[in-house]
Amino acid sequence: MGETSFTPRVFSGIQPSGNLTLGNYLGAVKRFVEMQNSGIETIYCMVDLHAITVWQDPDTLRHNTRELAAAYIACGLDPKKSILFNQSQVPAHAELGWLFNCVARLGWMNRMTQFKDKAGKNAEKMSLGLYAYPSLMAADILIYHATHVPVGEDQKQHVELTRDIAAKFNHDFKTDFFPEPEPIIDGAATRVMSLRDGSKKMSKSDPSDMSRINMTDDADTIAKKIRKAKTDPEALPDNLDDLKDRPEARNLVNIRAALTGQTPEQVIAEVAGQQFGTFKPDLVEIAVSHLAPITDEMNRLMADVGEIDRVLGDGANRAAEIAEPILAKTYDIAGMIRSR
């Protein structure tokens, strides 16, 4: 990790906007666990305020937030080592988000590709919150003075915008109060693609359930989805360059590499010459043996939602202890009187 004068601290979050996918797991949660286990201070959030930038049924949102918490823990996040909580329980996120709405420029927001992807041709009908999403994300990170943000490839632009917001705040108020955090994007699966279309990323909100593997899928469902994953009739080559124009094949190689802890180069050396009729059943076995214990543990944890809520409440208290003094200082820098 790069040099900074701030104490290293990791923050990241995931939206409880649907089933956690294999993409979220390999691109984000698996990396969250590695960072936690490296001994650095880690804060991980279920970003429910971000989820409501598109419609969420309230009961489903509650369920998805708890299920995401269960997934975090089942994947190896330990509430004693990492701070785990849902965003709306720490109001400082929304408060700093408002201040940052007044720092970020419209032109910056207009360049955000995620808004364009999600809004498509319907930008006029989208919520104002979806447009301002990156500004709240900057607040999520900077309210903890986080220095490192593990994310998948698709979130790189938002972390870069966070750096721009920190730099502009520091410049406007002649301070060095906020760090400029670094995105941490590495590993074999920084962008897991849809199983149905190698040009689209795997996503919780894709209308096709066959496009993704959910962390709640059972072994038969995982097998069916991998068996039906779009591929091509060619055998696998002996080097990655030859997969350049075969995005679906490259995606499955990357998934196998991320699940086994190998590099894609090592995988291709192992599977060179295989047809998908051989490669896919092996991948099913690898995926099921890796994911089944996580799914079982999630189901066990979800049987006691009271305990999950207790973990989230405890995490929120610990998060607020860090966030509140940073918010108070930010208000002070910006000239707001705090006399209560």
The reply to whether 204 belongs to the active site is yes
Secondary structure of residue 14 in the 3-state scheme = strand
H helix or E strand, kind and range, residue 170: helix 156-172
Least distance CB 24 / ligand AQP (angstroms): 4
Least distance CB 262 / ligand AQP (angstroms): 17
Judged by CB under 6 A, how many residues of this single chain contact ligand AQP?
Answer: 22
Name which of 189 and 298 has its Cβ closer to ligand AQP.
189
* Biggest CA-to-CA distance, the chain: 72
Binding string to ligand AQP for residues 177 to 216, with x set by CB under 6 A, is what?
Answer: ------------xxxx--------xxxxx-----------
Instruction: Give burial (CB, 10 Å; 0-12/13-18/19+) of 188.
Output: buried
Residue carrying structure tokens 């988000």? 97
The reply to whether 201 belongs to the active site is yes
Name which of 21 and 330 has its Cβ closer to ligand AQP.
21
Least distance CB 185 / ligand AQP (angstroms): 8
Nearest by Cα to 45 from 308, 312, 302: 312
Using CB atoms, what's the residue nearest to ligand AQP? 27
Classify the phi-psi angles of 334: left when phi > 0, otherwise alpha if psi is within -120 to 50, otherwise beta: alpha
Of 97, 152, 181, 183, the residue at the interface with ligand AQP (CB under 6 A) is 152
Spatial distance between the Cα atoms of 176 and 169, rounded to a whole number of angstroms: 9
Name which of 93 and 169 has its Cβ closer to ligand AQP.
93
Residue carrying structure tokens 């650095």? 40
Active-site residue identified among 80, 81, 118, 280 = 118
155 binds ligand AQP, rule: CB under 6 A: yes
Name which of 96 and 112 has its Cβ closer to ligand AQP.
112
- Whether 249 and 235 have beta carbons less than 8 Å apart is answered as no
Spatial distance between the Cα atoms of 135 and 104, rounded to a whole number of angstroms: 7
The residue ranges that bind ligand AQP (CB under 6 A) are: 14-15, 17-18, 21, 23-24, 27-28, 151-152, 154-155, 189-192, 201-205
